[in-house]
A = this chain, B = another copy of it.
Amino acid sequence: MLTNGMTEVLKIEYPIIQAPMAGGITTSTLVAEVSKSGGLGMIGAGYMTPNQIREQIREIKKLTSSPFGINLFVPNEFTYTESEIKSANQLLQPIYEQLNLQLNDSLDIPNSIHVFETFNEQIKVVIEEQVPVCSFTFGIPSKETIAELKRNTIILIGTATTVDEAVEVEKSGMDIVVVQGSEAGGHRGNFISQSQESLVGLMSLIPQVVDHVSIPVIAAGGIMDGRGLMASLCLGAKGVQMGTAFLTCIESGAHKVYKEAIMNAKEDQIVLTRAFSGKWARGIKNKFITEMEKHEDLLPDFPVQNTLTQPIRKASSSQNNADYISLWSGQSPRLAKNQTVKNLLDTIITEAKKINNYI
């Protein structure tokens, strides 16, 4: 039951992928430990430069010979006006003051061309360094990119939030599709459906997707233990991708106050916001989300707003202040524990086997 088409394709022992959380959480130790313990560790490389990516891949390869993976953000066209930036900065001004920060007029606002170039360079590094698995969020790369990766025998994973998106992922030639339920923490991965209407719970999403694609389906969102793993398999998934469960692990690079915030949160304190990055994402409601709530629709798109709020998140973090950090979390914070990766994985497998014997 715990080995199937998905574990075979990925050459791993357990059908468990560590979600590729961006922003410094997926340390080399975290990724390597997951892979060494029988799962698939993943680098959250969305915000990383090609050089940082190359360095981390090499570091992980020194720590383990087991397969691991990397996730990249598929770039989308975006535009912004000077007046949008100005009014967004006006909203952020009081928070800058509160954190004793100077509003930085020389912030390097990204532009579409540059973002597409960086993506192509990231892909180049993934191929050169022969990363066994590459997953994508926010869309599907070009046919050429997919063909190039496949020629280099890299296993490809797409992300979908609806049946239609999963069908597109399969059509593009990817090997596996991760379905992101509404329970999931962090950014919504929708790329066809509207973000607010693609918030489908896994109990509904998994079976409907499984009925419409033939590649293995991996469930993501709120899964933290053996119960979630077994439930996903019953619904027709071949495995799970877990973020929050690994985020609070000892090996994760998440800030101490971030880990604590998750372990003290309740499921109904976790909300959707686009205040941090310009893209809808799920996290623990804190002061920043509350203060920006009324203006949510006025903020510039991803990744522009993300760049504007970066100094705030950085300062808040270095002041050990959880008020202005993006506290991304899935909807199961009560199940989060501060433990080693090995302990988490061993407990899941033991529990899954127990459920399997009982039901």
Is residue A7 within 8 Å, beta carbon to beta carbon, of the partner chain? no
Q: Are B358 and A1 in contact (CB under 8 A)?
A: yes
Q: Which residue of chain B has its CB nearest to the CB of A355?
A: B234
Q: Which residues of B contact A1 (CB under 8 A)?
A: 358-359
- 26 residue pairs of the A-B complex, CB under 8 angstroms, read A1-B359, A164-B266, A196-B271, A197-B268, A197-B271, A197-B285, A199-B199, A200-B268, A203-B223, A203-B228, A204-B267, A207-B224, A207-B228, A207-B335, A208-B332, A208-B334, A208-B335, A212-B334, A227-B236, A230-B234, A231-B231, A231-B232, A231-B234, A233-B359, A234-B355, A234-B359
Task: Tell whether, in the assembled complex, residue B230 and residue A201 are in contact, meaning their CB atoms are under 8 Å apart.
Answer: no
Instruction: Tell me which residues across on chain B come within 8 A of A204, comparing CB atoms.
Output: 183, 221-222, 267, 330-332
Asked if B198 and A201 sit within 8 Å, CB to CB, the answer is no
Residues of B within 8 A of A236 (CB): 227
Q: How many copies does the complex hold?
A: 2
Answer whether residue A77 sits at the interface, using C-beta atoms and an 8 A cutoff.
no
What is the size category of the interface that chain A forms with chain B? 35 or more
Assess A267 versus B234: contact at CB under 8 Å? Given A183-B201, A356-B359.
no
**Can you list the 7 inter-chain pairs with the closest CB atoms, starting with the nearest?**
A201-B201, A204-B222, A204-B331, A183-B201, A231-B231, A230-B234, A231-B234
